[in-house]
Structure 1
């Protein structure tokens, strides 16, 4: 649960705007803190910063896809996650359908004040805050506090705590986004004028089938045929969160995942003044990041558990995790450090910044032991192993599930299974439970 002692506020007076973002429990450099205090100072480019914060908050209360037959419910918006990495603040959120990830990075040069601590927490982003942010102009400085002295505040007898459920889908989404982001590479970079033309030309709704965006001269165009270097885009309206920031844009950069005829995660990055707004889109608008299952390989790899524990103890909320340094200090090979970071990412404990080409440290307020219960395929695979339902014969595994025995074969392109789930997805959404079960047996043998 989020737990705030009072609402966030934004007030105007003395020629400036003063915003205090109330924090909920989170991790800091010194351990758990019920209400951490991360920053006290001014945000540069106030109108741009206000628009970016609004964009991240709007994504959290938007459903870009509603399954057929489902009645869209009134959304209770989840609150953005903020991480202080020592020299920058990162605000992150997911859409209600979990298919769109947004991150606003307030980079060095945009923060004029004291970064008081490092760590991760949730911040209260209530309707009055959103209304007030929309009224900020470029003429008034924006003073920001992330957290406040709660010990003083709780002396006020009028304080009423706000408790809001914390969505578990976000943890799974954070894990999948960092995994997908670590596989992308820069595809193209276009000027601000072309970014404005392209984003504004996209319809507010449209076909949910994947299309691809490719450079065309100095501009961009959409094609229905995938080509290497093209960026997959399913649900054209899912790029609309960038639109309110276009007037501040310096350029638009896109990152493409390895070529996939069925569509893949695309990462879009709007370069701003001393800041970035990043939007990552799931391979299809009907697929939320929380259900992708790519992290199951890392979670199932118990051999990396000790490495992950060692590496996690050496992290200090760095904005860019230096794998070479961790390798030298831990005595682990760089490859083992990278795999350990993958496992930590599967727990939402590190993110990946495509612009930096590096992981960054964050700590989400979740119990790591609950991870397995959040992933039914991993839980079912473990149950199959415990039941003795897996039989190995060379490169082939036979996995009995119910009354059916499925065959898992190792090939040069990865494991293949005869089950209907694999037949439908072909490994594009992570391994099926039978492939996972076979892998668990092989690792343990």
Structure 2
């Protein structure tokens, strides 16, 4: 198995069965993290089955899409992640190239069921399941079960098999990085259904390599190759075509650009159901390679603090630093700035509509998530091999030399300004996160 993929197995196929006139959607689950003994997180009725089924089909199309990889790599199937708890259900996933992120949020009044156990898991989205979802009609009743309803649940004629699924490590990294971009994005505008339909008709045909801009003329919105004041920049605009089947069904469309235009997020609003869709700055550059949250991982956290937070991080509720501080007896000053780091560790998601983090425990072990970023590992290796030398340090400025392969890199940290002479920094100028040399220098300074 390649070190760039994680393989996992399902014990049963996800399926839709019909019983007493009701459709039952059972999603087979996988989880590396053992939290509780129940094999099922949620069982209940979905109040908007037609819209939800179309959102899940679009999500499946997204996680099977790729905008910068070969047809062979594209053929690998990916499976979304589902979080159930606090009266909400969230499905989320990435395109294969990790440049498109999508999440389906079933809100509190969008379901009527029992949350047997709070948790997060991978779910099996197989071809027969997608085909059956396409047959759901507006008046159908749809019952959702995340996992099996009970231990040893079997249905006559059901097929229980093992299916290996490859998941690229960059997909997991992207799930942590995108939360950071969400937290730095702001609401820009709301379009009604007619405006959204008009807007999506202006998406150019084919694959577009130049930037496009979302602009407003009168009461109409359009995508234009010409930049205007207050325009929202969108790279790889052809990726938005994935949303076209959903636009006729929405109530409204909300737009959230990143503060530096490093991503753009669209929220498609239905009745008690939201579809979140975010694209990276360029179609060839996925969220997994950004490293925007790397610096938040520099400062080591006490194991007791991480464990205390992990005890809360699978309930889908809003992140409340004051409550965590009170219940765990931890100094509030040590918690208030943890959100970025904890989201980078897979313990928090971000809800743009509520402008805040929520507990979301990815179904992978913490050590797996933390070991995935090569720049973070590279910085730690530089420190282990004693290749970082601080040459100047005062209250406002730090200079250092970092030994590389046959070359010495020079790092300067002055206030909010940081520079390095390495190729990575010269190419990206900090837009995709710090290089391993800057990370190593910062970590050494914090350790001293």
Does the pair score TM above 0.5?
yes
| 3-state SS, counterpart of residue 443 of structure 1 | helix
Which of 1, 6, 10 matches 1:4? 10
Q: Distance in 1 between matches of 2:148 and 2:309?
A: 31
Contact 1:266–1:282 at 8 Å: present in 2 too? yes
Equivalence for 1:170: 171
Match of 1:403 among 406, 419, 422: 406
Matches within 5 A, 1:253-272: 253-258=254-259, 260=260, 263-272=261-270
* Worse-matched range after superposition: 317-326 or 97-106: 317-326
Deviation at 1:404, TM superposition (A): 1.3
| Helix, strand or coil at the partner of 1:98 | coil
- Quote the Cα distance in structure 2 between the aligned partners of 1:407 and 1:120: 43
| TM-score, length of structure 1 as denominator length | 0.90
User: Post-superposition, which runs of at least 4 consecutive aligned residues in structure 1 deviate over 6 A?
Assistant: 154-158, 225-228
How much does 1:272 deviate?
A: 0.7
Q: Distance in 2 between matches of 1:232 and 1:49?
A: 29
Unaligned runs of 5+ in 2: 1-6
Q: TM-score, normalised by structure 2?
A: 0.90
Partner of 1:391: 389
Give the Cα–Cα distance (whole angstroms) in 2 for the partners of residues 85 and 218 of structure 1. 40
- Select between 378-387 and 52-61 the one with higher mean Cα deviation: 378-387
How many residue pairs end up in the alignment?
436
Q: Any conservation in 2 of the 1:3–1:25 contact (CA below 8 Å)?
A: no
Query: Which residue of structure 1 lines up, in the alignment, with residue 109 of structure 2?
Result: 109
Give the 3-state SS of the residue equivalent to 1:293 in structure 2. coil
Measure, in 1, the Cα distance between the counterparts of 2:331 and 2:418: 27
3-state DSSP of counterpart to 2:245:
helix
Matched with 2:193 is 192
Q: Which residue of 2 aligns with 1:242?
A: 243
Kept after mapping to 2: 8 A contact 1:320/1:356: no
Quote the residue 2:4 is aligned against.
none
Quick check: 1:321–1:361 contact (8 Å CA) kept in 2?
yes
**What's the counterpart of residue 354 of structure 1?**
352
The answer to whether the aligner puts 1:43 opposite 2:43 as a matched pair is no
Counterpart for residue 140 of structure 2: 140
Cα deviations by residue, 1:187-221 (Å, 9 ceiling, x for unpaired): 11111111122123313533233333233333323
Which residues of 2 match residues 28-427 of structure 1 at below 5 A?
A: 31=35, 33=37, 36-66=39-69, 70=70, 72-149=72-149, 151-153=151-153, 159-224=160-225, 230-258=231-259, 260=260, 263-303=261-301, 307-315=305-313, 317-332=315-330, 336-392=334-390, 393-394=392-393, 395-427=398-430
> How far apart, in 2, do the equivalents of 1:304 and 1:266 lie?
35
- 3-state SS of 2:378 partner: helix
Does the Cα contact within 8 Å between 2:41 and 2:116 map onto a contact in 1?
A: yes
Secondary structure at the counterpart of residue 429 of structure 1:
coil
Q: Residue 90 of structure 2: SS of its match in structure 1?
A: strand
Report the Cα distance in structure 1 between the residues aligned to 2:20 and 2:282, rounded to whole angstroms: 48
Q: Which runs of 5+ in 1 are unaligned?
A: none
**8 A Cα contact 1:373 1:379, kept in partner:** yes
SS of equivalent to 1:38: strand
